[in-house]
Amino acid sequence: SKLGLLKTFKTGTSYLRAKLFPVKPEISLEDFFINRFGKELYQTFFKDYTEKVWGVRCAEIPASWGQQRVKNLDVTKLLKHAITSAFTSNKTITQHGTNTSLIEQFLYPKYGPGQLWQRVANEITKRGGQILLNQKVTAINGDGENTILSVDITNSDGAVSTVKGDYFFSTMPVKDFVAVSRAIKTDPLVHEIASKLAYRDFLIVGLLSSELKLKENDGTDITDNWIYIQDGSIRAGRLQFFHNWSPGMIASKDDKWIGVEYFCNEDETFWQLPDKELATFAIKEMESIGVLSAADVTDSIVIRVQKAYPSYYGAYGEFDQVRAHLDKIPNLFPIGRNGMHRYNNSDHSMLTAMAAVENIIGNRTDKSNIWEINTDDDYHEESK
């Protein structure tokens, strides 16, 4: 209803046209979105946001990105979900049969995702394991063939130490892994492809505000966990409302912590701006779209994450050759988003680690089951 009659009509006719005359062959992400949602919805909701994330045109991104992230979602499934949700009151947390893009309920740690990993770290140390922080992997040492023997790590003081092992799990960017590999048989072409893999960096500006101007229709505080910003004139791509994820995330129930998310490259001027300037920029953008008032902001923080998003353009078209190389290393298990150069969600990333452990326990040498995670919505159900 908020689209208006004319926009709704154009959206409907655009979708029908896409169903009757789909783009063939479906090569780019632009083709993918238009075929599933029509050109009108693509331009309204997908184009600008997606290009903010990746920094390139949708026409330059392969359709495989959409096939992984959006999968089988289209307009008919959106409408069916909307109608079903309106008449269904018994919603369970499992939400079986719901498309992953439409899930409305989440299990969330009281103090945020970091609480989960703190618990994992505690269990590791309790069982005799050792966690070395602030270390950089500077060499991965092989036996001259395909087996890893040890890893050299360098701490912040420049001291180098060597860690030996029987099995190695890697979450480091594939580009960096191949670059520091030593005495592991590697085709020069694999080195070349890996060196050209692209990434997108990420920074988030946290703003503490005593009040938000953005409200629900009835005037109460907004209850969303996040909001995507499709407007191409606004640099921010998404907002997180941390106080809505869990009351444990804030010191006072009256506080509003929002995260303003930006996608960029670390060689850009924007990435290199001082934290204070980034906070000022974010506040101005949030004021311009009616989220908050600068006078209500009492604190801010900036967090930068390098290589947050493995990109699906450029050298990625030849990634299969890099994957084949990684699979030839019997005691290596690439896992997670960067370890596999795959834009997984955190749940899928955790599943790759679980599957890797199961392979070791079961003496399974074929790692295809790890790579198949997130190619099927129901992987974690079928595996049971």
3-state secondary structure 92-143: CCCCCCCCHHHCCCCCCCCCCHHHHHHHHHHHHHHCCCCCCCCEEEEEEEEC
**Residue-level pLDDT at 73:** 62
Shared domain check, 247 and 164: no
Coarse DSSP helix, strand, coil percentages of the chain, rounded to the nearest 5 percent: 45, 20, 40
* Structural domain boundaries, residue 324: 120-197+312-382
**Residue-level pLDDT at 5:** 80
Start-to-end CA span in the chain (Å): 42
Q: Spell out a b/e string for 57-78, using b for 16 or more CB atoms within 10 Å of the CB, else e.
A: ebeebbbebbeebbbebbbeeb
Residue 109, in any domain of the structure: no
**Residue-level pLDDT at 381:** 37
Could you give the 3-state DSSP secondary structure of residue 336? helix
Q: What is the pLDDT along the chain (384 residues), one digit of tens a residue?
A: 466 788 888 888 998 999 999 999 999 999 999 999 999 999 998 999 999 999 999 999 999 888 766 766 666 655 554 545 545 554 665 555 555 555 667 788 999 999 999 999 999 999 999 999 999 999 999 999 999 999 999 999 999 999 999 999 999 999 999 999 999 999 999 999 999 999 999 999 999 999 999 999 999 999 999 999 999 999 999 999 999 999 999 999 889 999 999 999 999 999 999 999 999 999 999 999 999 999 999 999 999 999 999 999 889 999 999 999 999 999 999 999 999 999 988 989 999 999 999 999 999 999 999 999 986 544 443 443
Shared domain check, 286 and 215: yes
CATH for 213? 3.90.660.10
Nearest Cα to 170, choosing from 286, 336, 12? Answer: 336
CB contact at 8 A, 260 and 286: yes
Residue 88, in any domain of the structure: no
Could you give the 3-state DSSP secondary structure of residue 298? strand
Shared domain check, 319 and 189: yes
Residue 283, in any domain of the structure: yes
d(CA 290, CA 213): 6
Shared domain check, 262 and 205: yes
Residue 103, in any domain of the structure: no
Residue 151 has a CB neighbour count (10 Å cut-off) of 19
Shared domain check, 272 and 228: yes
Amino acid at 260: V
Question: Considering its fold, how many domains does the chain have in total?
Answer: 3
Task: Please state the pTM of the whole predicted model.
Answer: 0.87
Tell me the CB-side half-sphere exposure of residue 32, using CA atoms within 13 A.
Answer: 22
Shared domain check, 162 and 301: no
Q: To which H or E segment does residue 228 belong? A: strand 226-228
Enter the tokens of residue 174: 């594939």
Cα–Cα distance list, 77 to 18, 81, 85, 227, 277 (Å): 16, 6, 12, 21, 43
Nearest Cα to 349, choosing from 320, 310, 318, 313? Answer: 310
Q: To which H or E segment does residue 149 belong? A: strand 148-155
Shared domain check, 213 and 156: no
CA-angle at 186, arms to 185 and 192, nearest 5°: 165
d(CA 148, CA 197): 23
Tell me the CB-side half-sphere exposure of residue 196, using CA atoms within 13 A.
Answer: 14
CATH for 366? 3.50.50
Shared domain check, 168 and 37: no
Domain's final residue, options 46, 70, 94: 70
d(CA 148, CA 141): 6
Enter the tokens of residue 72: 């089988």
**Residue-level pLDDT at 248:** 93
d(CA 253, CA 247): 7
CA-angle at 27, arms to 24 and 28, nearest 5°: 120
Enter the tokens of residue 333: 């298990």
Residue 115, in any domain of the structure: no
CA 75 centroid distance within chain = 23
**Residue-level pLDDT at 378:** 46
Rg (alpha carbons) of the chain, rounded to whole number = 23
